Amino acid sequence: MSINGISDDRFSSNISRPTLQPQIQEQQTQPQSLPADSFRQSGNNSATPAGTDILKAAEILSKAPKSREAEINWSISLLQDGCTGEPVLADENHLVFSTFDKGFVCLNPTTKEILWERGALSPDGQQNNQPVKGTDNDLLLSLKEGKQVISVDPLTGKEKWHIELNDGINSSPIIGQDGNIHINHTEKVVTYDGKTHKKLSETPIRCESALPFIDQNGVPPAVGKDGTIYAGGSDGTFHAYENGTGKEKWAYKTDSNITVSPVLAQDGTVYCVSDNKKLVALDPLTGEKKWEFKAADHIMAEPSLGRNGEVILGSKDQNVYFLDPRTGSEKWRFQTDGEIHASPKQLKNGNIWVASNKNRIYGINPETGLKRWSCKTAENVVFPPDSDEKGNFYIYSNDSNMYSYKMPSTRQTMETLKAETESEQASNRNNDISVRVEDNFVVIGGIKLPKKQSVK
């Protein structure tokens, strides 16, 4: 079985792995001097007159520091317990994650003290089961081999309420944009009121062409503000179903299988990924294509959304893409050192987090697409992290350890921004930094400088 395009041997708790401590390695990116004629004006590729201000900027850019590294706060070995989904930081003192053997575990991320545990999973585990933030300052957990959904207080682990299910589920509960709780079963989605927890509807989702992938690979659907259920079919078709009746509102046909969940924007736009290297943006009412984006290789996990609605997408082509939600055009791309199998994510302090399958994680500046920091990990990271406002983030690695990392300071002065620009552009573009004019600014790489301002 595969989950979000990742073969299940990445998740198996039966694979014996040594417990390793990651060795933090500093990238040896050497500062390089930039000749004045290396500046080019974007668009016509013609040489730009080198004014005094540009030359001074180039002098500063040539003094780039070595790459900064994220640091390990702590690591906890889960041994054969393994981790089955993304960790969730309920607050700065409560980190909750799911394991194969112990069920759900809550620990204090400062002291590493185990605060509570709740319910062991089935012997084979629920491989994409994870805690879900509810609508009432609670966490929703799937227990009893997927036959019970329980709401708990994240501070104590005590039950608030629960729902008994006749049929087991193979993924976590879904909180829709409508604020209700949706449970996907074989051939149907059952909806419960987000406040009263009473059953509202059962929606059959079997269509003539194919059974949606939510039943085969545990890839859950997405639910819109009006309750519409969006799911991908194994025949390469995206479907929109009317909640309650299961009536198909529209269908959008791709030319390949669908292996990851759709993602909904605040305006309802449906972002869908298929196995043909494409992401399409669909109108939620009509299913008409707004735009599409094609990566150079397969997209292994669902996209995520930035603070301003940007679409953040990783690919096997080693790039993370930052796309304009209106047009699908690239704002920037960043190339890592390996394939990207986990969904990139914008952390609470603004950094774009991304992991490569070459055991390295990165923090990217969302404004410029330039690297702020990176760090070597012991093994692959296949789930996105959760993070706090202080620059800490929490990830599970395939060496069977849960890690807490501290990001370097991201306070961005003009001096450090210019130095970072040189460091990235010099290495990625062979010293060819684009220069363009926008209103009263000269833009060097991704950094704006006032036309008349000298850089000292």
Q: What integer pLDDT is reported at residue 65 of this predicted model? A: 45
**Which of these, 349, 315, 348, lies nearest to 334 by C-alpha position?**
315
Whether residue 393 sits in one domain with residue 371: yes
Domain assignment present for 12: no
344 assigned to some structural domain: yes
| Interatomic CA distance for residues 242 and 245, integer angstroms | 6
Number of structural domains (the chain) is: 2
CA angle 136, 139, 141 (to 5 degrees): 135
| CA 57/CA 415 separation, integer angstroms | 10
Same domain assignment for residues 415 and 452: yes
Please give the Cα distance from 347 to 71 (Å, whole number): 16
Say if 341 falls within a structural domain: yes
Q: Are residues 381 and 432 in the same domain?
A: no
Domain coverage including residue 51: 31-67+411-456
325 and 393 together in one domain: yes
Residue 251 included in any domain: no
CA atoms lying within 13 Å on the CB side of residue 413: 6
Final residue of a domain: which of 373, 390, 407? 407
Assign 305 to helix, strand or coil: strand
Pairing of strands 40-41, 434-438: parallel
Is 323 within a domain?
Answer: yes
Q: Which pLDDT value is given to residue 281?
A: 97
Give the three-state DSSP class for 57: helix
AA letter at 429: R
pLDDT score for 206: 64
Residue type for 116, please?
Answer: W
Domain of residue 347, CATH code: 2.40.128.630
pLDDT for 304 equals 96
- Residue 302 lies inside a defined structural domain of this protein: yes
In a shared domain, residues 340 and 442: no
Does one domain contain both 384 and 319? yes
Question: Between helices 52-61 and 414-428, what is the axis angle to 10°?
Answer: 80
Same domain, 400 and 439: no
Neighbours of 298 (CB within 10 A): 18
Do 281 and 287 meet the contact criterion of CB atoms below 8 Å apart? no
Clarify whether residues 401 and 422 are in a common domain: no
- In this structure, are 344 and 389 located in the same domain? yes
DSSP secondary structure letter of residue 256 = S
Distance CA 119, CA 72 (A): 29
Domain contains 24: no
Q: Among 390, 407, 424, where does a domain finish?
A: 407
Q: Is 386 in the same domain as 418? A: no
Name all contacts of 180-188 with Cβ < 8 Å and 24+ positions apart. Answer: 180/223, 180/227, 181/134, 181/135, 181/140, 181/149, 182/221, 182/223, 182/229, 183/149, 184/214, 184/215, 184/220, 184/221, 186/215, 187/211, 187/215, 188/246
With respect to residue 247, please indicate whether it lies within any of the assigned structural domains: no
Give the domain-ending residue among 407, 422, 448: 407
Name, in order, each residue with C-beta under 8 angstroms of 409's C-beta and a sequence gap of 6 or more.
391
Q: Identify whether residues 320 and 389 lie together within a single domain.
A: yes
Burial of residue 435 (number of CB atoms within 10 Å: 0-12, 13-18, 19+): buried
**Is residue 355 a contact partner of residue 361, using CB atoms and an 8 Å limit?**
yes
Q: Tell whether 310 and 394 lie within a shared domain.
A: yes
Closest by CA to 199, choosing from 209, 187, 189, is 189
pLDDT digit string (tens) for the chain, length 456 residues? 333 333 333 333 333 333 333 333 333 333 333 333 333 333 332 333 344 455 555 554 444 444 578 889 999 988 666 788 899 999 999 999 988 877 899 999 999 999 999 876 544 444 457 899 998 899 998 876 668 899 999 999 999 999 988 877 767 899 999 999 999 876 789 999 999 999 999 998 864 333 444 444 446 789 999 999 998 877 788 999 999 999 999 999 988 888 888 999 999 999 999 888 999 999 999 999 999 999 999 999 999 999 999 999 999 999 999 999 999 999 999 999 999 999 999 999 899 999 999 999 999 999 889 888 999 998 889 899 999 988 999 999 888 899 999 988 655 444 555 555 555 555 444 444 455 555 555 555 555 555 444 333
**Single pTM value for the model:** 0.75
